[in-house]
Structure 1
């Protein structure tokens, strides 16, 4: 697929049965590449119990199920990968343990030098945008700048966090990011979720990657 793909991030707190139903609705709306099970502060027992329910749904929808930070829960639940952003050493350990069979992603770097250093570990993607930052209608300017810089210069795929208004999604796709992340725009909208996913995919289809020779 020669254009950016959707990368969904769950809300930080949710009812498992409710989000499971919403994910099933989301997949009826079209292409989704990844879903990050984002449960900051939750213990391994809770993360694994949730992942045990959500991972099969995500995988049945044709997407990769990624668990936030908890390598134990990711491994035990059969998730496709883990997102590690706690430290460079933690990231190196995850890459050593999970690859090549599973995905390891990272993000949250503050400096360009750190982004390059963390990418050198061999991660599968670099995430631009703060997961714990309050979302605005538009993507944050720094996210757009960093994603544009990265997509132009580096081979490691990148994810760019969009804002909570789908009408601004084109600005994120225009950076050349391989994946566009959505969180509040999906879960906090009154619109039916499958319709939101379909609309998001229509926007992304209008931003194909440049042809490479």
Structure 2
């Protein structure tokens, strides 16, 4: 079984002292990727906020993924983009961002959407929410066996998302998640301690 890795998703507020918090989190344990997720700011402001965070990730060889916006990902020359079901198509993202870009697609609890994303050339699919999440309301509830089903059929990595904590992540790792996407469990407290706690479980 491949090792499961941590995939951090930013809080919506990434200003102020957040760059220092990100450094602490990334230095506390292995993190594979960081997703830049901001809402209701224009692209110019988003780019300004992203710049120091992208540099912090680059220094530590952590993939910098932009949430929702193919155009922002292109502008920042980000490592990739994460698309919700309403944010465009993996094929379109590939054309715009190039072969090297990491393209992920939210598939909720749907096997059908995940297979479609794989056919469209996604580099990973994200399933969730596995647990109630305070970060993002989701009417979709996924079960761990979805991860096991995916791993049995497909080479493309899968990401588990939604209310994941160091305490409840065990079944998802056992079921075959390649990555655990976490936000609140890290940023709502001591980020370094949280990353260390996840590292101990993974």
Shared topology, TM-score over 0.5? yes
Displacement after TM superposition at 1:186 (Å): 0.3
Q: Which residue of 2 aligns with 1:26?
A: 25
Q: Structure 2 matches for 1:118-197, cutoff 5 A?
A: 118-130=117-129, 134-135=133-134, 142-189=142-189, 192-197=190-195
Query: 1:92 aligns to what?
Result: 91
Gaps of 5+ in 2: none
Flag the 1:93–1:184 CA change in 2: closer, same or farther, 3 A.
same
Return 195-204 or 144-153, whichever deviates more: 144-153
Name whichever of 104-113 and 194-203 sits farther off: 104-113
In structure 2, the CA distance between the partners of 1:121 and 1:88, relative to structure 1 (3 Å rule), is farther
2:71 counterpart residue number: 72
Q: Which 5+ residue runs of structure 1 have no aligned equivalent?
A: 205-213
Structure 1 contact 147–175 (Cα < 8 Å) conserved: yes
Tell me the residue number matched to 2:199: 201
Cα RMSD of the aligned pairs, angstroms, is: 2.4
- Kept in 1: contact 2:147–2:158 (CA 8 A): yes
In structure 1, the residue matched to 2:114 is: 115
Deviation digits for residues 57-107 of structure 1 (CA, Å, limit 9, x no counterpart): 112122100001112221222311111224485332102222312111111
CA-to-aligned-CA distance 1:152-203 (integer Å, 9 cap, x gap): 22111110015253211212211211111111100112xx322221221111
SS of residue paired to 1:186 = helix
Change (3 A) 1:7 1:102: same
**8 A Cα contact 2:133 2:162, kept in partner:** no
TM-score if structure 1 supplies the norm length? 0.82
Instruction: Tell me the SS of whatever aligns to 1:180.
Output: strand
In structure 2, C-alpha distance between the alignment counterparts of 1:146 and 1:35, rounded to whole Å: 24
TM-superposed deviation, 1:130: 4.5
So what's the TM-score if we normalise by structure 2? 0.86
Cα 1:187–1:144 change in 2 (3 A) is: same
Indicate the larger mover: 151-160 or 164-173.
164-173
